[in-house]
Amino acid sequence: MSMESFNPNPTVFATAKAPRATQFAKPHSLWLEDDNTDSEREEEDESNDAEPIDQDEIFELIRSISDPEHRSMSLEQLAVVSAPQIIFDSKSPDRITVEFTPTVPHCGMSTFIGLSIRVRLLRSLPDRYKIDIRVKPGSHQSEHALNKQLNDKERVAAALENPALLEVLEQCLSTATRSA
């Protein structure tokens, strides 16, 4: 990993907050939730009604990945990823496109960021999903090559064979799993 600094002083953005209504009541309930009815809550959780995977859940998986250049900041804080940039294919529900925005067009870390998103989703989403990862159109000088590289199975697999790369990758991903 080179020590060259691509963007030493990036812009920081505010992170998204959970919607308000959830703190008061269960979805679609008229009744204010009691602060201390945890015992009852457990019982009600037993229905196995499907809660399909949505945009927010996928965003939740990748928002806290650390930026490889600024480890103390997350991809979300640097606005590299955002929920609206996760798009479900309207025709086949198992096809997802995840778009990300490098902080500067010459960012040499973009491949690595794309790879970290790819690995995180490979590990965390069911096999049935087919994921495309691309940079936001016009946000990077070698956009085409990048997109090609990130969606080439062989090259992703080859990159993961590199122990040094894998170590940095695990470090960046480690912030994503710190469950709240």
Residues engaged in binding other proteins (CB under 8 A): 8-12, 14, 17-18, 20-21, 23-25, 30-32, 34-36, 42, 45-46, 48-51, 53, 57, 61, 70, 72-73, 123-128, 170, 173, 177, 179
CB of 77 to other proteins, least distance (A): 9
CB of 86 to other proteins, least distance (A): 16
Q: Which helix (H) or strand (E) holds 95?
A: strand 95-100
User: What are the Cα distances from residue 136, in Å, to 16, 111, 153?
Assistant: 20, 13, 20
CB 100 within 8 A of CB 109: no
CB of 145 to other proteins, least distance (A): 28
CB-wise, 25 or 145, nearer to other proteins?
25
Four-point Cα dihedral 179, 100, 131, 145, nearest 10: -140
CB of 67 to other proteins, least distance (A): 10
CB-wise, 1 or 21, nearer to other proteins?
21
List all residues 6 or more positions away from 166 whose beta carbon is below 8 Å from its beta carbon.
Answer: 160
Which amino acid is it at 131?
A: I
Alpha carbons 131 and 123: distance in angstroms, whole number: 12
CB of 157 to other proteins, least distance (A): 15
Q: Is 133 helix (H, G, I), strand (E, B) or coil?
A: strand
CB-wise, 4 or 46, nearer to other proteins?
46
CB-wise, 141 or 177, nearer to other proteins?
177
CB-wise, 145 or 166, nearer to other proteins?
166
